[in-house]
Amino acid sequence: MYIEGSTEVVSWGGSTEERRKGRTPVAESKVTIVVPDAATMEKCLTALEESDRRLATMGPGTGGYDWQIVFREDMADGSGKVHFGVVWYDTDFYRAKREIFSASDHTSMFGRLGFTADDVSVEHWVKDAAAA
């Protein structure tokens, strides 16, 4: 679903009112994944797209989070970065899941995609003081 040769890959979930359905975010996370090559970039983007399709199918009443816009950054040496956001709608869910990227199921997935947890950085911003 991403646009070849474009910096902006796709606008998903929490980036569109259609998916927000009036929900108010309590926090956001910005994720950057450093990938070693174009093949890993494609695998990573495909995995994000598949996850987005699952979230869209579930609908807004079934999850405390959604994806935000995804950007790809291609480097001259063939490596790159994938940047995307996570919007959190439920304070308890955010507190429980904000570090999920370091859990074993995610680190195993990272290995299958061609990068490690050390290649992933996440920054969180709390919008609702109760979520902190």
Give the tens place of pLDDT for each residue, 1-45: 343 444 444 555 556 666 667 788 899 999 999 999 999 999 999
CATH number of 6-126: 3.30.70.60
- Indicate the residue type of 28: E
pLDDT (0 to 100) of residue 3: 39
pLDDT (0 to 100) of residue 24: 84
Structure tokens at 8: 């902006």
pLDDT (0 to 100) of residue 59: 67
User: Given the structure tokens 């970065």, which residue do they identify?
Assistant: 81
pLDDT classification of 131: cutoffs 50, 70, 90: low
Averaged over 94-110, what is the pLDDT?
Answer: 88
- Percent of residues in the chain assigned helix, strand, coil, to nearest 5: 40, 30, 30
Buried b or exposed e, range 73-85, using 16+ CB within 10 angstroms: eeeeeeebbbbbb
Task: Output 11 or 103, whichever has higher pLDDT.
Answer: 103
Query: First vs last Cα of the chain: how many Å apart?
Result: 34
Could you give the residue ranges of the DSSP H alpha helices within the chain?
Answer: 17-20, 38-58, 91-97, 104-113
Averaged over 88-112, what is the pLDDT?
Answer: 89
Task: Output 127 or 116, whichever has higher pLDDT.
Answer: 116
**Which residues are paired to 124 by β-bridges?**
29
pLDDT (0 to 100) of residue 13: 53
pLDDT in tens, 41-80: 999 999 998 888 888 787 666 678 888 888 899 999 999 9
